Amino acid sequence: MTIQENDLSSSSPFHHQFFLLLSRMMLQLRRNRTGLYIQFFHHLLSGFMVSGIFVSIGNDATQILPLLKFCTCCVVFCTFTYIMIPILLFPLEVKVLQMEYFNRWYSFKAYYFALTVSTLPLL
């Protein structure tokens, strides 16, 4: 038995898969208000903490190292906050993803692209 290339690909084009998955993920995001509230309060609390740590750093231009620490803190916060959303949600979606992917409803590329685009409004 040989596996052909068309046996592995899904039947619908990439943009149909992407927009269908994106609309589904946006609907899930709209229905799951708990995650939005947790992220909002996490950003609010982190903003107060970072501003409390670096409260008067920007007024003195002679302190280069604390300014660098502040910039690094902001970059690390944005990066890890953005990465943690898919990491926390992926274990909940593994069973559904396996079933839908092995039924060839969509490709992994369309799924991950839609997941990335759907997390952009939260960022």
pLDDT, tens digit, 9 for 90 and up, residues 30-87: 887 777 787 788 889 888 998 888 887 877 778 788 888 888 988 988 888 777 767 7
Interval 5-33: pLDDT, tens:
555 555 678 888 899 999 998 998 888 77
- Asked if residue 1 is part of any domain, the answer here is no
Alpha-carbon span 89 to 71, nearest angstrom = 28
- Asked if residue 33 is part of any domain, the answer here is yes
Alpha-carbon span 24 to 93, nearest angstrom = 13
- Asked if residue 5 is part of any domain, the answer here is no
Alpha-carbon span 78 to 42, nearest angstrom = 12
CA terminus-to-terminus distance, the chain: 47
pTM score: 0.64
Decide if 107 contacts 17 (C-beta within 8 A).
yes
- Asked if residue 92 is part of any domain, the answer here is yes
- Asked if residue 27 is part of any domain, the answer here is yes
Residues spanned by the domain of 20 = 14-122
Structural domains in the chain (count): 1
- Asked if residue 79 is part of any domain, the answer here is yes
- Asked if residue 8 is part of any domain, the answer here is no
